[in-house]
Structure 1
Amino acid sequence: MAQPLCIIGTLTAALLLSLHGSVTAADYDLSPARQFVAAETGEVMQGGATTHFNKADRNAFSHPAANMEFDHQLNFQLGNSIFRKLWVSSPSSTTASDGLGPLYNARSCERCHQQDGRGHTPQNNWPEDNAISMFLRLSIPPQTTEQEIQLKNNRIGVVPEPTYGGQLQDFAVTGMPAEGRMQISYTDLPVNFTDGSTVVLRKPEYTITDTQYGPLHPDTMLSPRIAPPMIGLGLLEAISEQDLLTLADPDDSDGDGISGRTNRVWDSSKQTVVTGRFGWKAGNPTLHQQNNGAFNGDIGISTPTRSDPYGDCTSQQSRCLQQPNGDTPAQGNREASAQMLDLVLFYTRNLAVPARRNASQPEVLAGKKLFYQSGCVGCHQPKFVTTKHTDIPEQSEQLIWPYSDLLLHDMGEGLADNRPEFAASGSEWRTPPLWGIGLTKAVNGHTQFLHDGRARNLMEAILWHGGEAEPARQQVIKMSKMDRTNLIQFLESL
């Protein structure tokens, strides 16, 4: 059933293009599904024409957009090589690859986004295991009037911890100590279903040990983050801002209990406040800004827009600031050149979303109906049509199925990190896209979900939902075992 539906979806788009010259949201039925006896037209092609139909194996998140022209393939491969590049410390004979750190979380983008997929929690605390692909964000409340004004005007998202910066760096170049170690402890939290079944959640608590540069500020706020999957990011960027604003309902004017709102963040290229859409709290407005921040903060690499060759080193880490750096004239006096960042941008924009699997199976359709009836689509918006973009033709005018509204929602005290970021409160999180979620095990060898990987499977992830999602959670708790199984089968088909 899958392939004919995909062909129909492709032919429909081609016909509309021939008749109208472009495809808009008006050309598609974007209303919620009303019947659940068959897959919707085009639903299998989650990423529109960018969708790939390659094998659903460990490489399922690493394929280029299927509609990419042949002469763009080289740029994709070059971007891939930079994404996977292992950076080394300075000085080095490989001047195109030096500048690591001096303090860092990973030596490459791929070390966190393994196989372009999802990060994971450490199996044990240090020194039995490291926290690669997971780290702690750090910040403190405003200390000055100037900081209060900057936060209020969304010129900055947080105030970094004064000694350790914006995140804990648990690796360092030879001869320097890492900043410290993240320690995680878990407490069992049982949840009972109406039918008598029980699921035991694990409630995490985070601390920092072995601090090497002095004590943390007494009001330090911690926020754990695992690396999210990289697929479909260019498509998310191509959703019109107006579509997001239309979905936003900050005052819950329709009375459905869901009050999604946009994060308002600083766009460094436009020098103005815009809508955020990337990151766990939608703290970045563009993929380019997100990439630059990761190069600088996670790896310690200077870029055209993040010019500090010492990454997240602070003024109180004098030894860090005295280390050699990799800024070279050949790279535009940066450790990663503008060309490198452009290639990485092209690569991260064009990682294809895999096709749906088993979308027409009765059990999957039954699970989809439950997903709708429980109210999950109030945040996990099924579909959009991307806007017309001549500069990114692959992502232009595509019917896509991310199952996200990219808005902030209050998820309750259970998931709260109590750390604001721009306009996002300590209990608000951006709705994560669900496309590809069923391939997490195949790609990354685990099923750890949510911002800190606390959920060990999809049902645990659902049961951590609170706040605006509490009514939907209660619907799941009341389901029969068969209904719960069907709901998970639907999610695993995405």
Structure 2
Amino acid sequence: MRLLAIVTLACLAGCSHPLEIAGEGDIVSASGERGCSLEEYNSGAPTCSENYISGAYDEIYQALPRPGWEFEGWGNCQHANPQTQYCGFSVPAKTVQDFWGNTVPPLVAYFTKFSAAVPPITDLYDATTNLEPAQQISTASALITRFADRARDRHAREDEFQSYDHYLSFYWEHRTAAVEIVDTIGRGGNTITFNVTTQWKLSPNEAELRFFYRGINTVAEYHNNGVMTRIDDTHYTRNVSYNSKTNAPLQIGDRLEFELSQFLEGVPNGRNNYYGTTYLYIVGQGIVPWETRGIFGDFSTEREDSFPISATGWLGGETTLPYEYSNEPDNHFLQMATNLSSINGQNFVLGRRVHHTDFEDGGHNESPQNPPFDALAGLLGNHYVNHSCVSCHTRNGRALPPAVGQPLKRYLVKVGDANGNPDPLIGAVLQPESSMGNPEAGVTLGPWQESNGLRRPSFVFSGVQPEYFSARIAPQLVGLGLLEAIKEDDIKALADPNDLNGDGISGRISRISDPESGHTRLGRYGWRAEQATVRHQVASALNTDLGVMTSTFSNPDCGQAQTDCGASGTELPDEHLDTLTDYISLLGMRARRGLDEPVALRGEALFDAAGCLNCHVNTFDTTAHHPHAELRNQTIHPYTDLLLHDMGPGLASTLDEIHASGREWRTAPLWGIGLTADVSGGEAYLHDGRARTLDEAILWHGGEAEVSKQAYVALTAAERLALVTFLKTL
């Protein structure tokens, strides 16, 4: 609870600003010119003062909680930074000359005291976290970049084949490579060296590494084609020092597009010949997401040459992918992060195999040449929702509702009692399938209920009719690792559970018990922020959706009256849980599109003006302490605050859960939302898929979002179209 007493720091002549502290903490000047603490005032020290200022005044304050307390928010702060505990204050000269403490409201910092009932949140990562090696390091003699690549069927720009972004048979066997770029340009050297480590030996005369896109006869032609020098069966190298496009030695800032070919020799399974990913390397900088410019065949243009995408389009920071040119729009969400570390390439594809495996028979859902994963066969639980991860998360995109009368195959239906406890007959999740021939219950989509152009679903249950339930459709999976890397303090600074700033928005942190450590964590995942990490989210889905027990969740989802739930214990070894977690964490995010499109830019301004950014926060910097190098120190644009918000009765479910009411939902990230139709083959938004368009999704907003919705409703038709156009660029 919050300490009731408020310490008021009176303003005397020469005082800079009246300060108040609610709870235990300090308000400290970030410039170091003064510090205000409770001890000073309780001991009778002068109030926060400094020399008289005769001109305009600007200052930045920081709120510092004491042990056992947590910063909650600012009151009367003119320029609060939504991602820190800082407050900026700016006062014009006339107000200062009039002893502005008498005319300007006091600056207030609120702190929450923790008790056993409300424990403090423990950060996921800090300075003690074990870190994977950096993906890029800078030395006095070279810039060294280490990343992973995978085998491809065709080339990046060959839209006629549609065979670049998809995955080939046996993609997890011998078909990834670790690449090291040693760039000495501008550091006493004149050469860039590419060192390649493969999983299998390459054909001696076909181990190609191509430099500098040419695009004259085909869109797969390069100026500098050459075979790498073999060191041994799995190590190869090649140097480049001359820019074939400018006919000059390499210089810092040069664009070096390259493509590795993994032409294997006598690989045990599958074919031998593969190409690789097309990367754009900026000399002296590193690998960047790219776009093409010009028209192939038109020599007056760049002929589809590669250029860096503007940094404003890097939704996922350095994980951001290039634009797609192979005419495979349904594969947008299946790609490795652009900056995937050299040590994680094989883990990524091994985790992908788990994701695509049927836990009943071990079958792989893609190429018929892929053999069963026997180690996972037979793990499907007594009660389950589906057979594999990809059955719900097809192509890692948003699911679509079924036809009326059909089962909710790609939904999770949470159930419980009036207090949010698991339903005694079927547990916390309705699992409509059973390997024992005795399903818990069934649920199908009932007729849609339409009103004023909006629809809401109805659900038909069989076997059991839960009084309290919440149906949730499968969300997209890209970007989850980056959400885990957002710093807790940045999210907590956005929370305003008591609406202290009076803007009508009272986002609330979801406090979750860590199933492995018991620590209280900040919830980030799920429609109601019920899990704190990607690993926990993955393990929870395995547990309830597939009935597969892991070391994280080793007990089956079971009501107290059930007797056929199966035994407890770890079924899926940690090595497979770990690689699956890595795969989900390290998926690449497609770049924002339409960066120079006037309608989209107008829509972005309208999105801001309507107050949408109050919850759909666009920018964060990730922590320096995340274990994965790919996710550390990234500037990302997820468009979420990861907080719980009351969205009003229109979106409410009947189920109140332990950590969230039936009206509360986590702010859904918007990155990738514009690719929904491409990936999913249709559009469905919000927690139960009711919205058929983004316009409908906005019109369903209520509660804390009511003011923003009304601002949207007040727009002209052209303005509403512009705002939606902006969303579709994400």
Establish whether TM, by shorter chain, passes 0.5: yes
Deviations 1:219-245 (A, max 9, x none): x31101001100010100000000001
Kept in 2, the 8 Å contact 1:164–1:216? The answer is: no
Work out the CA distance in 2 between the residues paired with 1:61 and 1:224.
24
Q: Which runs of 5+ in 2 are unaligned?
A: 1-252, 257-280, 287-308, 363-371
Counterpart for residue 197 of structure 1 = none
Q: CA deviation at 1:296?
A: 0.7
Q: CA deviation at 1:178?
A: 5.2
Letter in 1 for 2:497: P
Deviations 1:151-203 (A, max 9, x none): xxxxxxx410001111111222263345222343322110xxxxxxxxx0002
Report the 3-state secondary structure (helix = DSSP H, G, I; strand = E; otherwise coil) of the residue aligned with 1:274. strand
Q: Cα 1:69–1:375, aligned 2, differ >3 Å: closer, same or farther?
A: same
Larger strand proportion of the pair: 2
Counterpart for residue 143 of structure 2 = none
Identity of aligned residues (%): 38
Deviations 1:301-338 (A, max 9, x none): 01112223xx32445333454xxx7x9xxxxx632111
Q: 2:230 aligned with 1:230, yes or no?
A: no
Kept in 2, the 8 Å contact 1:119–1:226? The answer is: yes
Letter in 2 for 1:42: A
Kept in 2, the 8 Å contact 1:408–1:429? The answer is: yes
Deviations 1:74-100 (A, max 9, x none): 11000000011101179x993532121
Counterpart for residue 151 of structure 1 = none
Report the 3-state secondary structure (helix = DSSP H, G, I; strand = E; otherwise coil) of the residue aligned with 2:376. coil
TM-score by length of 1: 0.80
Q: CA deviation at 1:477?
A: 1.1
Q: Cα 1:390–1:173, aligned 2, differ >3 Å: closer, same or farther?
A: closer
Counterpart for residue 26 of structure 1 = none
Deviations 1:400-442 (A, max 9, x none): 0000000111111100113223332211110000000000000
Counterpart for residue 132 of structure 2 = none
Report the 3-state secondary structure (helix = DSSP H, G, I; strand = E; otherwise coil) of the residue aligned with 1:107. coil
Counterpart for residue 30 of structure 1 = none
Deviations 1:250-283 (A, max 9, x none): 1111111111110111111221222111110111
Counterpart for residue 99 of structure 1 = 379
Letter in 2 for 1:83: H
Work out the CA distance in 2 between the residues paired with 1:109 and 1:408.
26
Q: CA deviation at 1:69?
A: 2.2
Q: Cα 1:140–1:70, aligned 2, differ >3 Å: closer, same or farther?
A: same
Work out the CA distance in 1 between the residues paired with 2:564 and 2:496.
49
Kept in 2, the 8 Å contact 1:448–1:454? The answer is: yes
Report the 3-state secondary structure (helix = DSSP H, G, I; strand = E; otherwise coil) of the residue aligned with 1:208. strand
TM-score by length of 2: 0.55
Counterpart of 1:176 (choices 428, 438, 446) is: 438
Matches within 5 A, 1:194-233: 200-209=453-462, 211=463, 215-216=464-465, 220-233=467-480
Work out the CA distance in 2 between the residues paired with 1:44 and 1:102.
46
Counterpart of 1:466 (choices 685, 702, 719) is: 702
Counterpart for residue 86 of structure 1 = 358
Counterpart for residue 618 of structure 2 = 382
Counterpart of 1:288 (choices 535, 539, 542) is: 535
Matches within 5 A, 1:274-353: 274-308=521-555, 311-321=556-566, 334-353=570-589
Work out the CA distance in 2 between the residues paired with 1:260 and 1:319.
40
Work out the CA distance in 2 between the residues paired with 1:469 and 1:393.
36
Kept in 2, the 8 Å contact 1:389–1:395? The answer is: no
Report the 3-state secondary structure (helix = DSSP H, G, I; strand = E; otherwise coil) of the residue aligned with 1:164. coil
Letter in 1 for 2:469: L
Report the 3-state secondary structure (helix = DSSP H, G, I; strand = E; otherwise coil) of the residue aligned with 2:649. coil
* Residues paired across the two proteins, number: 419
Counterpart of 1:114 (choices 394, 401, 405) is: 394
Higher RCO, Cα 8 Å, sep 6+: 1
Letter in 1 for 2:317: G
Matches within 5 A, 1:350-389: 350-389=586-625
Work out the CA distance in 2 between the residues paired with 1:130 and 1:408.
29
Letter in 1 for 2:379: G
Counterpart for residue 29 of structure 1 = none
Q: Cα 1:252–1:68, aligned 2, differ >3 Å: closer, same or farther?
A: same
Counterpart for residue 723 of structure 2 = 487
Letter in 1 for 2:311: G
Report the 3-state secondary structure (helix = DSSP H, G, I; strand = E; otherwise coil) of the residue aligned with 1:185. coil
Report the 3-state secondary structure (helix = DSSP H, G, I; strand = E; otherwise coil) of the residue aligned with 2:449. strand
CA RMSD of aligned residues (A): 2.6
Q: CA deviation at 1:119?
A: 1.5
Report the 3-state secondary structure (helix = DSSP H, G, I; strand = E; otherwise coil) of the residue aligned with 2:491. helix
- The structure that has the greater radius of gyration is 2
Kept in 1, the 8 Å contact 2:615–2:667? The answer is: yes
Deviations 1:52-91 (A, max 9, x none): 115271110111111012332111000000011101179x
Report the 3-state secondary structure (helix = DSSP H, G, I; strand = E; otherwise coil) of the residue aligned with 2:472. strand
Counterpart for residue 411 of structure 2 = 134
Letter in 1 for 2:562: Q
Work out the CA distance in 1 between the residues paired with 2:540 and 2:508.
24
Which has the larger displacement, 347-356 or 171-180?
171-180
Work out the CA distance in 1 between the residues paired with 2:412 and 2:487.
31
Kept in 2, the 8 Å contact 1:120–1:134? The answer is: no
Letter in 2 for 1:108: S
Counterpart for residue 58 of structure 1 = 330
Report the 3-state secondary structure (helix = DSSP H, G, I; strand = E; otherwise coil) of the residue aligned with 1:312. coil
Kept in 2, the 8 Å contact 1:98–1:335? The answer is: no
Letter in 1 for 2:457: P
Q: CA deviation at 1:289?
A: 1.0
Letter in 2 for 1:394: E
Q: CA deviation at 1:360?
A: 1.5
Work out the CA distance in 2 between the residues paired with 1:41 and 1:73.
26
Counterpart for residue 29 of structure 2 = none
Q: Cα 1:204–1:252, aligned 2, differ >3 Å: closer, same or farther?
A: same
Q: Cα 1:97–1:363, aligned 2, differ >3 Å: closer, same or farther?
A: same
Report the 3-state secondary structure (helix = DSSP H, G, I; strand = E; otherwise coil) of the residue aligned with 1:367. helix
Q: CA deviation at 1:118?
A: 0.9
Letter in 1 for 2:455: R
Work out the CA distance in 1 between the residues paired with 2:658 and 2:633.
30
Letter in 2 for 1:109: C
Kept in 1, the 8 Å contact 2:647–2:664? The answer is: yes
Counterpart for residue 422 of structure 2 = 160
Counterpart for residue 223 of structure 2 = none
Work out the CA distance in 1 between the residues paired with 2:626 and 2:437.
49
Letter in 2 for 1:335: E
Counterpart of 2:491 (choices 239, 244, 253) is: 244
Work out the CA distance in 2 between the residues paired with 1:378 and 1:384.
14
Kept in 1, the 8 Å contact 2:404–2:444? The answer is: no
Report the 3-state secondary structure (helix = DSSP H, G, I; strand = E; otherwise coil) of the residue aligned with 1:225. strand
Deviations 1:459-479 (A, max 9, x none): 000000001111111111111
Kept in 2, the 8 Å contact 1:83–1:108? The answer is: yes
Letter in 1 for 2:400: H
Work out the CA distance in 2 between the residues paired with 1:242 and 1:164.
38
Work out the CA distance in 1 between the residues paired with 2:536 and 2:412.
19
Kept in 2, the 8 Å contact 1:136–1:182? The answer is: no
